[in-house]
């Protein structure tokens, strides 16, 4: 199972993108996963237990155990490629965790959108600016940091703009296949789209947070 990180800002079309990608039976992409925090927690444990691990000559065993976290988490999934979604994979120290424990050549797909549009999208769900920042991490500083990172044009980062996804989804999907070096799936469809991995928005107390429309297009209510 090959690991690919799906990351970036909220309200950028990641649920829609995941639903389309998951039409391919060899790809699995779902809602936010705990894998990043599980790997990070294990790495922090290493700092505490490093002496014991080295004394027991267990460094390789430790790395193998952490590497298998994502495989165990997705052990019930029969797919060759997993797009693991977490907003914080884009943080450099977290990308380093992928290099250290999961794959030496991490691939990150980063979704972006105009900052004002993100705020407005949340507002129309009844989430004010204070809640956006406190509960969902939507801050201008985070946005500006991503803009700076994007300017570096790192070859293992593929940036997906929300407007591009909505205006030409087939082109965006093809770019993801090319970037990830995955054989293209010819049977993607862009009408009557269904999300095979429904998310319970009651957990977030926001109705419609992860709803997607059956067809792709802009709408008056972002």
The residue ranges of every structural domain in the chain are: 2-114+157-182
From CA 116, how far away is CA 122, in angstroms rounded?
10
Bridge partners of residue 109, in order along the sequence: 6, 158
Give residue 221's pLDDT. Answer: 39
Which two structure tokens, joined as six digits, stand for 140?
């201008």
Give residue 107's pLDDT. Answer: 97
Mean pLDDT for the chain overall: 88
Handedness of CA 85, 89, 94, 99 (dihedral sign): positive
- What homologous superfamily is domain 2-114+157-182 in, according to CATH? P-loop containing nucleotide triphosphate hydrolases (3.40.50.300)
Are 107 and 180 in contact by the 8 Å Cβ rule? The answer is yes
From CA 98, how far away is CA 90, in angstroms rounded?
11
* Higher per-residue pLDDT: 186 or 205: 186
Strands (E), 113-167: 157-161
> Does the pLDDT value for residue 70 go beyond 80?
yes
Confidence of residue 176 (pLDDT cuts 50, 70, 90): very high
Give residue 1's pLDDT. Answer: 92
From CA 40, how far away is CA 22, in angstroms rounded?
27
- Indicate the SS3 state at residue 141: helix
Are 87 and 135 in contact by the 8 Å Cβ rule? The answer is no
Burial of 9 (0-12, 13-18, 19+ CB in 10 A): buried
What pLDDT digit, counting tens, does each position of 6-28 carry?
998 888 988 899 999 999 999 99
Are 85 and 50 in contact by the 8 Å Cβ rule? The answer is no
> Does the pLDDT value for residue 212 go beyond 80?
no
Give pTM, 2 decimals. Answer: 0.88
């Amino acid at each position: 199972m090959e690991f690919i990180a799906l990351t970036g800002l909220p309200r950028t079309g990641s649920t829609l993108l995941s639903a389309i990608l998951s039409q391919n039976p060899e790809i699995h992409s779902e809602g936010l996963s705990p894998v990043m925090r599980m790997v990070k927690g294990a790495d922090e444990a290493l700092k505490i237990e490093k002496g014991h691990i080295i004394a027991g000559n267990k460094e390789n065993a430790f790395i193998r155990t952490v590497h298998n976290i994502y495989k165990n988490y997705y052990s019930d999934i029969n797919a060759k490629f997993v797009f693991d979604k977490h907003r914080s994979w884009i943080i450099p120290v977290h990308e380093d965790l992928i290099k250290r424990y999961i794959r030496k050549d991490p691939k990150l797909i980063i979704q972006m959108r105009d900052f004002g549009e993100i705020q407005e999208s949340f507002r129309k769900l009844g989430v004010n600016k204070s809640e956006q920042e406190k509960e969902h991490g939507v801050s201008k500083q985070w946005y500006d940091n991503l803009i700076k990172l994007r300017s570096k044009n790192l070859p293992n980062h593929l940036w997906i703009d929300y407007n591009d996804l909505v205006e030409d989804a087939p082109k965006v999907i093809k770019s993801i296949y090319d970037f990830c070096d995955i054989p293209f799936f010819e049977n993607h469809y862009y009408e009557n789209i269904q999300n095979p991995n429904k998310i319970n928005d009651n957990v977030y107390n926001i109705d419609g947070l992860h709803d997607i429309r059956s067809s792709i297009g802009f709408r008056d209510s972002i």
